[in-house]
Amino acid sequence: MPESARRKPQKDDDVQRAMRYSRTKEWLVLIGMTWSALTSFVALTTGASGRLRRWAEHFAPARLGPVMPYTLVAGILGFVTSLPLSYYGGFVVEHRYGLSNQTRRAWILDGFKGLGISLALGLPLAHGVYWVIRRYPQRWWAILSGALVPFTIILSNLAPVLLMPLFNKFEPLRDRALAKRITDLAADEGVRVSEVMQMDMSKQTKKANAMFTGIGNTKRIILADTLLDEFSDDEVEVVLAHELGHQVHRDIWKLIGLQVPVTLFTFFAAHRLTRPIMERYGKRWGLQVERGAADVAALPLLSLVGGTAGTVLGPAFNAIVRRWIEHPADVYALDVTRKREAFVSAMEKLGKMNLSNPRPSTLVKWLLYDHPTLQERIDFGRKYTPR
Ligand SMILES: [Zn+2]
C-alpha cells in the first residue's frame, strides 16, 4: 500500500480532532463574550453596581474615593462568576484533548496569580482613568484613547519579560549553535538581539509558541521548550523570521496607529451614549445621573456600550491585521530564509501541536482571526517564490 494511502485515515482523524477542539474553543470565546455582557447588564439593572459604589464610598477614605475599592470587588466578582467557564475551557477541554500538562492544583494557582497581577495593575490604572474622566468630563474619551493605547500595546509587548517569568522559568537557549544562528539572522536584518531564551512552557501545555519581545534597541527572543522539542532548526528559523518581520516592519507602531482610531470610536460611543441612557434609567439603577460617566457605578454601562462598539469594528480590525501585518510577516519570513519547505512543515506542525482549525468558517474567521488561517498560510508558502 502506498505510504499516503496508509496514512490517510490517521490524518483525517487528526483533522477531525483539530476541528472539534477549535470549534469548542470558538464557542467558548463567543459564550464568554456573551456571559460577560450579561453579567454587566445584570449588575447594572438590578442596582447591584450602584449598591457596590455606595458601599465603596462608605468604606474608602474620602481622599481615595470609591474607584479602587469598587474595582477591587467588581474584579473579584467577575473572576468568580467566570470561573466555571474558564475552568471548563482552560482545564477540562485542554485535558480532554491531551493538550494540558497541568494538575488541577497548578491550574488554580496560576489562576489566582493572574488575578493578583491584573488587580495590582488594574486598580491604579482605574484610579488614573477615573481621575481623567472627572477632570475632563467632555474630552476624556480622546485623552484616554491617546494615552491608554500605547500603554497597553507596549505593556503587552513587555509582558513576556515582565510578567511571564512569574509563571514560567526562563533561561538562555541551551542550544548555543541555534542561538547564534538566530542572532546572526536578526543582526543581518539590522535587529539587535540581546538574548535568545527558552521557557518551560511544557509546565502547562503541549502547545508550541515563539515570540520576540522588548522595545527599542535590544530585543529578546523566547522559544517554548515544546517548540524546540518538535521543530528542526530550519523550522525554528522560519518561525522566528516571521517574528523578525514584525520587528523590521515596525508593526508595533502600526498596531498602535490602528488601535487608536478603534479606541477613539469605542470611547466616544461610550461617552455619547452613556448620558442619555443614564438620564432615562440611571435613577432606577441607583446611579448618580448628574455625574455621568464619572460615576464608577456606571462602569458596566460604559463597558457594555464600548464593548458593543468594539465588537462592531472587530472584524474590520482583524481583516486589516491579517492582510497588512500578519501576511507581510509570512512573506518576509519566506524571503529572508528562502526555506519554503521548512515554512510549510512548521505551519503543519504548529497546527498539529496547537490543534488549530485549518479552515474555520467565514464568520469565525472574521470575528476571531487576526492571522490568516493555517491553510491559507500553507497554501501561500507552497506557491510563493521567495524574492
Ligand atoms: Zn505574526
Measured in Å, residue 147 CA sits from the centre of ligand 1 at 25
Mean pLDDT of the chain: 91
The CA-based angle 87-90-93, given to 5 degrees, is 95
Please say whether the beta carbons of 226 and 232 come within 8 A.
no
Please say whether the beta carbons of 74 and 82 come within 8 A.
no
Say whether 220 sits in a helix, a strand or coil: strand
Measured in Å, residue 10 CA sits from the centre of ligand 1 at 30
Measured in Å, residue 329 CA sits from the centre of ligand 1 at 6
The one-character DSSP state at 296 is G
Whether the per-residue pLDDT at 225 is higher than 90: the answer is yes
- DSSP characters for 173-209? -S-HHHHHHHHHHHHHTT--EEEEEEE-GGGTBS---
Minimal CA–CA distance to 94: which of 210, 205, 227, 203? 205
Residue extents of the structural domains in the chain: 3-169+248-383
Whether the per-residue pLDDT at 4 is higher than 80: the answer is no
Whether the per-residue pLDDT at 5 is higher than 50: the answer is no
- C-beta atoms surrounding 340 within 10 Å: 16
Radius of gyration over every alpha carbon of the chain, rounded to an integer in angstroms: 23
Please say whether the beta carbons of 56 and 77 come within 8 A.
no
Whether the per-residue pLDDT at 224 is higher than 60: the answer is yes
Q: What local confidence, expressed as pLDDT, does residue 199 receive?
A: 95
Residue type, 243: E
Cα separations (Å) of 41 from 34, 54, 295?
10, 19, 16
Measured in Å, residue 1 CA sits from the centre of ligand 1 at 40
Contacts of 46 (CB under 8 A, 6+ apart): none
The three cell numbers of residue 106 are 497548578
Measured in Å, residue 242 CA sits from the centre of ligand 1 at 6
| pLDDT tens per residue across span 289-319 | 999 999 999 999 999 999 998 889 999 999 9
